[in-house]
């Protein structure tokens, strides 16, 4: 099975929590705070796996979550930072934002890419000791790791793409000039997935891809072409193969027009890509009238024309030499630049107050972290909590909602009576 597009969910690890601890050692009076910091959460990292050419590994697994960092410990021991979660993908995979479709990163460069960063570890109470606060009984919780959905789209890395109607000899040609062994048979849609092979001509080599399933209407979803047209995107040169013998379709030139029309409908830029016309199956005989029409078309469009018999390997060496020569004149394989830029999120300090059964329920994303950081059994930590509620407008929001002295306030898992 060939899979070349899939959307997955990724989440980096959360940072570990800081530790509240005090040095306790024989003969050491008032040892002071010694709580260690939490460890960093694991990143989500995409890496290139040269042995893969499909996204089949993502068929049944669509969720990837990295490990969390370890919590800090006493004696200023830091929590263990979590290992990164590596996700192997084939070279040529493009990471896209699912909503906008914009390119996040192109894995063609072969370098690892961090798609989601792990959260930082929280500070231990060692950081909060001051001359006036010598016994801090609170620490910071770890930061949350980044999470998102991401679309993986495979666009094969091939210098040359073989296109044409089914059963015109694309797979036969690929098997003759490379070590690839695609399925070959005398019926349509024998090839159900793209095949790659490396061609060596003297001291030069290039990658050739057999793109299956192109028929009229492929760009609209007919046949198999709508699934595999994307794999021609990177090809620097197109070998347009057609059956000159007209053994299945009456007019070879009409076949050329139809395939080119599908390429243009899929991508106008792709239609301008350099082409070499390859008239295959000359061993079955052909019409001189058809050949003259195609020669005229080739001259008008500045395309080279080669007559070959893929099955007998007649004319194939000359074709491969021409391909190698043409590639030396063309620019390198297309690399997709980053289009999607994730702007840093501004901290949302808003709060919502709702009265439920006489209880004033306060919600706000930032309040979750605040509550995790507070030691409600410590007087200094509790004072800090009250000061933040007043400075950030929570008290004002409660008063605007009509709260009275003695009413109950609930902020997530924390409940207390409101006092002026």
Q: Do domains 1-154 and 352-417 have the same CATH topology?
A: no
Output the pLDDT for position 189: 47
Place of tokens 């290139």: 48
Cβ atoms of residues 44 and 87 within 8 Å:
yes
Residue 132 has what DSSP assignment? S
What is the full DSSP assignment across 67-78? PPPPPPBTTTBP
In order, the DSSP letters of 150-174 are EEEEE----SEEEE-STTSSHHHHH
Q: What is the pLDDT along the chain (420 residues), one digit of tens a residue?
A: 457 789 999 999 999 999 989 888 887 777 889 999 999 999 999 999 988 878 888 988 999 999 999 999 999 899 999 999 999 998 889 999 999 989 999 998 889 999 999 999 998 988 888 787 778 888 888 889 999 999 999 887 788 988 888 888 888 888 888 876 655 545 444 445 677 788 888 888 888 888 775 655 544 554 555 566 777 788 899 999 999 998 888 899 999 998 888 888 888 888 888 999 999 999 999 999 999 999 999 999 999 999 999 888 899 999 999 999 999 999 888 788 888 877 656 567 888 999 988 889 999 888 888 887 787 877 778 888 888 899 989 999 999 999 898 899 999 878 888 887
Model pLDDT, residue 227? 61
CATH 3.10.20.30 fits 352-417, yes or no: no
Q: Cβ contacts of residue 65 below 8 Å, gap of 6+?
A: 10, 11, 13, 85
Show me where the domains of the chain are located: 1-154, 160-327, 352-417
3-state secondary structure of 375: coil
* Beta-bridge partner residues of 7: 151
Distance CA(418)–CA(255), nearest Å, equals: 81
Chain centroid to CA 32:
48
Classify the phi-psi angles of 119: left when phi > 0, otherwise alpha if psi is within -120 to 50, otherwise beta: beta
Class of domain 1-154: mainly beta
Please tell me whether the overall predicted TM-score, pTM, comes out greater than 0.85 for this model: no
C-alpha 59 chain-centroid distance: 15
160-327 homologous superfamily:
P-loop containing nucleotide triphosphate hydrolases (3.40.50.300)
* CA atoms of 354 and 399, how far apart (whole Å): 12
């Amino acid at each position: 099975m060939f899979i070349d597009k899939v959307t997955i969910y990724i989440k980096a690890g959360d940072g570990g929590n800081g530790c509240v601890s005090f040095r306790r050692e024989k003969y050491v009076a008032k040892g002071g705070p010694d709580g260690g910091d939490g460890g960093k959460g694991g990143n989500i990292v995409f890496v290139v796996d040269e042995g893969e050419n499909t996204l089949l590994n993502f068929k049944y697994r669509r969720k990837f979550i990295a490990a969390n960092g370890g919590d800090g410990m006493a004696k200023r021991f830091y929590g263990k930072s979590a290992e990164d979660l590596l996700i192997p993908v084939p070279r040529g995979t493009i990471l896209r934002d699912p909503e906008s479709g914009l390119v996040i990163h192109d894995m063609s460069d072969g370098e690892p890419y961090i798609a989601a960063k792990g959260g930082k570890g929280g500070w231990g109470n060692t950081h909060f000791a001051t001359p006036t606060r010598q016994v801090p009984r609170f620490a910071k919780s770890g930061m949350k790791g980044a999470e998102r959905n991401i679309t993986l789209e495979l666009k094969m890395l091939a210098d040359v793409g073989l296109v044409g109607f089914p059963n015109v000899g694309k797979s036969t040609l690929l098997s003759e000039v490379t070590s690839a062994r695609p399925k070959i048979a005398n019926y349509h849609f024998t090839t159900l997935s793209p095949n790659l092979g490396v061609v060596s001509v003297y001291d030069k080599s290039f990658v050739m891809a057999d793109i299956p399933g192109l028929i009229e209407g492929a760009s609209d979803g007919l046949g198999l072409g709508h699934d595999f047209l994307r794999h021609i995107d990177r090809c620097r040169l197109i070998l347009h193969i057609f059956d000159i013998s007209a053994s299945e379709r009456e007019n070879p030139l009409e076949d050329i027009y139809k395939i080119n029309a599908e390429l243009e409908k899929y991508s106008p830029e792709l239609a301008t890509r350099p082409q070499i016309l390859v008239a295959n199956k000359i061993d079955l005989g052909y019409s001189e009238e058809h050949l003259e029409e195609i020669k005229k078309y080739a001259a008008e469009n500045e395309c080279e024309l080669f007559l070959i018999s893929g099955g007998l390997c007649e004319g194939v060496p000359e074709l491969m030499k021409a391909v190698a020569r043409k590639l030396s004149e063309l620019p390198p394989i297309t690399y997709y630049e980053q289009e999607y830029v994730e702007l840093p999120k501004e901290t949302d300090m808003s709060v919502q107050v709702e009265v439920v059964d006489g209880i004033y329920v306060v919600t706000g994303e930032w309040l979750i972290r605040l509550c995790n950081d507070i030691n409600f059994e410590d007087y200094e930590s509790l004072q800090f909590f009250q000061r933040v509620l007043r400075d950030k407008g929570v008290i004002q929001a409660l008063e605007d909602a009509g709260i009275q002295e003695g009413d109950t306030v609930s902020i997530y898992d924390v409940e207390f009576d409101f006092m002026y």
